A and B are shown apart, each in its own frame.
Chain A
Amino acid sequence: MSAYQKNLVTAVLFVVIGALLSWDAFRYSYNSSFFLRGLALTLLGLGLSYGLILLVKKPSVEGVAVEDDARNRDMFFGAVPAFKVFAIVSAYVLLLTATGFLIATLVFAFVGQVVFAGEFRRRHLAYALCMTFVIFYLFFEALGVRMPAAPLSLDPFFRTS
């Protein structure tokens, strides 16, 4: 995607967000939403103005084509790790609700390293164990952060307080 195309997508994105926000903002009472209405309409106006300016100042086809190749490759390589990150963290959150911090973090840290590295190494397991217990004792024991409750949690067995 060229810089021009990115800018165009940005303009369309903000027009859509601005339109949705404007529609929603006018559903609330005036006293609660005059600020929000102003922001939503400004966002819509800016998005439209930006889009129009971009359409008027359209760059030459050659200029766009030069940078297309490298950028498309960048986007492709960025999308794969992004998918991995969102999938693994979402699974981690779901696991936290079921198994508590220790099991979920251990699984997340181990699987995460294997998936991100693309291969299994023994150090992945060792680091997963170390990281899980360091965070557990630092946050939940030393700093007293409340732990996520879960039906299959082993966390209480490892608490010192």
Chain B
Amino acid sequence: MLEAIYIGTMTALHPAMLVAVLFGVIFGLFIGMLPGLTSTMGVALLIPVTFSLPPEVGLAMLGGIYCASTFSGSISAILLNIPGTPSAVATMQDGFPMTQRGEAGRAIGLSVYASSIGGLFSVVVLLFLAPVLSELSLMIGTREYFLLALFGVTIIATLSSGDLFKGLMGGILGLVISVVGMHPMTGEMRLTFGLPALYDGLPVVIALIGLYSVPEVISILGGRRASDESARSTSFAGAMNTLRDVLRQGTNVLRSSIIGTFIGIVPGAGQSIASFIAYDAAKRSSKDPGRFGKGSEEGLVAAETANNAVTGGSLVPLMTLGIPGNAVAAVLMGGLIIHGLAPGPALFTGTPEVAYGFIISLAVANLMFVPLGLIVARYCFRAIMLPKDVLAVTILALAVVGSFAIRGQLFDVALMLGVGLLGYVFALLSISRAPLVLGLVLGSMAESNLSRALMLVRGDPWELLFQLLTRPFSAGLILLCVISILFGMRKSTKADI
């Protein structure tokens, strides 16, 4: 194995590979920053470019996009309170308050170093523990997926920012919106109002764009950005010196890296869930949980470490079993197949230079986006200095084009505007939008897996409950859910007092 790693390292450090990673990282940084363009879209867009390249070079470029775009979603989240990618919503909870406090540079610095460390951790896991962990991913069935989604829902208490009732109602509304469209098992249409554009449901990215960009523009124009002046007077110098601050949070970084990598290994779970769970875990174990949501560095570091740790984790089942861990991994799988490579154990034994070269190039990408990310963010930082009218039309134009880009339908722009109205009402009534996003992300996963699990026990809920309690993995998840709920209730009672 060490010999294969050596071959992979030599392959990854070849100048052609480094140039490919560099191109991928630059492209990924821009893709992730723009609302509406996701990592999946970025990787898919460049697959045709890799046709003419050797497989290891093409894959290195795609890996660079994946790692960099996962990080750069946080840039617009921190500077403008608009997440570039769904996984940046947890980052935004504390990133934007830091910008309002005049610490945008520091927030970007923490984000870039935490992302890099999380990404590197997951690459090490992918390199040494992939075969063992892939066995674990096979133990997870529909029941466990449902429980994982349920565990995600219990995090709502953490994201409710004060009022548990409002958080719960927002979260459930998110779950309801996520089930709009065709039922995964019966095919019956629900809540579509007869509109064919809603048959496939409401894309999460469109909902995110509307939910955050429209209220933010209204807030900018209304002049209610509380610390606008302090945001403008801030400097970017603090960004460079934050590595030590990230390393000081060793336990938080390690815990978030493990959470991100584990969630990445579970096929279909995704970066958003990982960042929310890591954020929740950081808040629970923090000595100062009251700062979360108001510019806590711990919260920002946890969310960013976890979402980048998903990158390596999601490639574990892909590279060892041929099962993609998430949408980006599925597109990467397409890239492997196009180059005549079969994902699975044979990839490591038959073409070690490609398999290990790709893994090491992911580590290179995670290191490369640190300086590049800081440079790009430094220029983006100027966006908050723009006059309000210019900033408002730019955000709105990007929101409209970003919503249109997902499926190429103008109806989606109207949908974005509708969700924007909902976001505005939420902002007016002081209801946190994060639980709604969590519900949106988890809803379809919870419903489809609950339906499948019930089908396996012929619709008998008691039999399902018995199975959940007697399977060790699902019983462990139930225990986690109970602990999470009890913790949330305790926190809510304390807040009332």
Contacts and interface: CB of A to CB of B under 8 A. Distances in A.
A13 B256 CA distance: 37
Contacts of B398: 135
Interface residues of A, number: 63
Given A31-B185, A43-B173, A7 B163 contact: yes
Given A81-B222, A85-B218, A116-B393, A145 B405 contact: yes
Interface stretch (B62-70, B360-368, B407-415): B407-415
B175 interface: yes
**What range describes how many residues of B lie at the interface?**
35 or more
Contacts of B482: none
Nearest to A1: B428
Nearest to A43: B172
A6 B172 contact: no
B15 interface: no
A17 B224 CA distance: 29
A39 B392 CA distance: 36
A35 B393 contact: no
Contact of A24 (B175, B191, B424, B429): B191
A40 interface: yes
Contacts of A75: 428
B389 A113 contact: yes
A58 B315 CA distance: 54
Contacts of A93: 400, 410, 413-414, 417
B140 interface: no
Q: Which of A28, A82, A93 has the most CB of B within 10 A?
A: A82
Contacts of A82: 218, 222, 424
A78 interface: yes
Contacts of B410: 93, 96-97, 148
B397 A108 contact: yes
Interface string B290-304: 000000000000000
B393 A112 contact: yes
B400 A92 contact: yes
B389 A116 contact: yes
B9 interface: no
A89 B390 CA distance: 15
Chain A interface, DSSP helix/strand/loop, else mixed: helix
Contacts of A3: 430
A84 to B, nearest CB: 7
B218 to A, nearest CB: 5
A42 B172 contact: yes
A28 B413 contact: no
Contact of B224 (A33, A43, A77, A131): A77
A13 B22 CA distance: 50
A68 interface: no
A81 B408 contact: no
Interface string A27-44: 011011101100110110
B433 to A, nearest CB: 13
Contacts of A84: 221
Contacts of B219: 78
Interface string B386-409: 011110111011101100110010
Contacts of A29: 186, 188
A28 to B, nearest CB: 6
Interface of B: 37, 45, 163, 165-166, 168-169, 172-173, 175-176, 179, 183, 185-186, 188, 190-191, 214, 217-219, 221-224, 387-390, 392-394, 396-398, 400-401, 404-405, 408, 410, 413-414, 417, 420-421, 424-425, 428-431, 446-447, 450-451
24 contacts: A3-B430, A6-B428, A10-B431, A14-B169, A21-B176, A32-B188, A35-B179, A35-B450, A36-B190, A39-B176, A43-B173, A47-B169, A82-B222, A85-B392, A85-B396, A86-B417, A86-B421, A93-B414, A108-B397, A116-B393, A117-B387, A143-B37, A143-B405, A148-B404
Given A29-B186, A78-B224, 7 more contacts: A36-B176, A36-B191, A86-B214, A108-B396, A112-B389, A112-B396, A143-B405
